[in-house]
Amino acid sequence: MSHPPTSQATTLEKTTNGVSENSKRYSLLVSLSPLHPELKRPSQNLQVQFHKNEQFDSCFSLIGIDASIANAFRRILIAEIPTVAIETVYVWNNTSIIQDEVLAHRLGLVPLKGSVEGFNWLKSFKRATEEDPDASDPADYNTLVLKLHVECTRNEKAAKNETDPTKLYHNAHVYASSLEFHPAGRQEQFFPVPHGTVRPVNPDILLAKLRPGQCIDMEMHCHKGIGADHAKFSPVATASYRLLPTITLTKPIIGDDARKFARCFPKGVIGLEEITAEEAREEGSGLEGHEGEKKAVVRDTFRDTVSRECLRHEEFEGKVKLGRVRDHFIFSVESTGQFDSDLLFLESVRLLKAKCAKLKRSLENMMR
């Protein structure tokens, strides 16, 4: 594959770099240094529990690990899993009202999808820098080519009193669905039609608006990169975690107070149960003489948002303690669409394992 012809005097090269920047269990072995005395045999204590596992949205718990490891997974998910995005835009013609640079930046932020096997086969494209002027040559194994050619014309069949531009004109709105993949070399094998071909995740992303006589003609080169280089390469829209909340009732909360206490939390966190005769007869329980009344009980702390609303009310003072489980991390991962969300987590495990192996080899070399 070679660069587009540069003999056209009107050709402009634009870069897309803007501002930088259900239940399932998986087994996972994590080796930690003896410098972590509080985490003994973490590979035996570690649990991974999936609460939601949709194609592009997952929620799971990592239990029994240190915060540093949980944060390492989060950072890898955001910035170190390679993806493919539009990197360079060759503008042959753009008579729309959107400037070339702005349109190129919009194109760079369009998430792309295709054959996972093909994306894994692609190699990174090396760009020339001041320190290292040698750059890679575009080839089938490091560059994917998309083209966009749209021209707006009048719809002669439109009603005379029509005011909707989408009915008055052809191609009044340019959507991401207009991007066409042009495979080269072995790309036809790795990105087969129709499901494996490179295309936008959401074909209804609006790129530009045109009026009769206006035209957009561009060629885009897609390269492989990571979120640490530019946010457009990040495979996730969000990747965050929170600690599992704990709610401990130190004294009984009964009657109207119990109902008020339940309203201080999201639905399902606090439940109401009837005090039994046995509980009412138990001395020192605080439930004496309250048989048949309602008491507050903790049902599901997973739903709690840690609002601390109950601490504002004097009637609950000294009756409740709020906290968090230090080694229970609840992750939320939302994929941009290039990879399934659960595959992203498994890929972050593989990358962290590779980092640990590299560090181990470096330490061994230092000890020689």
Q: What is the pLDDT of residues 343-357, one digit of tens each?
A: 999 999 999 999 999
Q: How far apart (Å, rounded) are the C-alpha atoms in residues 243 and 38?
A: 18
Domain boundaries, the chain: 12-20+83-225, 251-318
Q: How far apart (Å, rounded) are the C-alpha atoms in residues 357 and 340?
A: 26
Average pLDDT over residues 209-223: 96
Q: How far apart (Å, rounded) are the C-alpha atoms in residues 277 and 285?
A: 12
Mean pLDDT over each residue of the chain, to the nearest integer: 86
Residues 6+ away with beta carbon under 8 Å from 41: none
Q: What percent of the chain has pLDDT over 70?
A: 88
Q: How far apart (Å, rounded) are the C-alpha atoms in residues 104 and 16?
A: 5
Average pLDDT over residues 23-48: 50
- pLDDT of 132 reads 77
Q: Which CATH class is domain 251-318?
A: alpha beta
Q: Which two tokens stand for residue 69?
A: 């490891």
Residues 6+ away with beta carbon under 8 Å from 56: 334, 335, 336, 337, 340, 341
- pLDDT of 42 reads 55
Is the previous residue joined to 183 through a cis bond, with omega within 30 degrees of 0? Answer: no
Window from 26-40, 90-104, 167-181, 298-312 with minimum mean pLDDT: 26-40
- pLDDT of 25 reads 34
Q: Are 112 and 198 in contact (CB under 8 A)?
A: yes
Q: Are 16 and 105 in contact (CB under 8 A)?
A: yes
Architecture of the structural domain at 12-20+83-225: Beta Complex (2.170)
Which strand (E) or helix (H) includes residue 279? helix 277-281
| Domains 12-20+83-225 and 251-318 belong to one CATH topology | no
Q: Are 222 and 38 in contact (CB under 8 A)?
A: no
Q: How far apart (Å, rounded) are the C-alpha atoms in residues 19 and 323?
A: 39
In 285-338, the DSSP E strands lie at 294-298, 320-335
Average pLDDT over residues 265-283: 90
Average pLDDT over residues 174-197: 93
Contacts 24+ apart (CB under 8 A), 162-168: 165/209, 165/211
Q: Which two tokens stand for residue 140?
A: 């089938």
- pLDDT of 21 reads 34
The rounded Cα 286 to chain-centroid distance in angstroms is 48
Other beta carbons within 10 angstroms of residue 120's beta carbon come to 11
Q: How confident is the model at residue 41 (pLDDT cuts 50, 70, 90)?
A: low
Give the chain's end-to-end CA distance (angstroms, integer): 46
Q: How confident is the model at residue 9 (pLDDT cuts 50, 70, 90)?
A: very low
Return the residue matching tokens 């074909």: 203
Average pLDDT over residues 301-311: 92
- pLDDT of 18 reads 42
11: amino acid identity, one letter: T
- pLDDT of 194 reads 87
Helix axes 67-79, 341-366, angle to 10 degrees: 110
- pLDDT of 8 reads 33
Q: Are 81 and 348 in contact (CB under 8 A)?
A: yes
- pLDDT of 26 reads 37
Looking at the DSSP bridge assignments, the partners of residue 88 are 15, 221
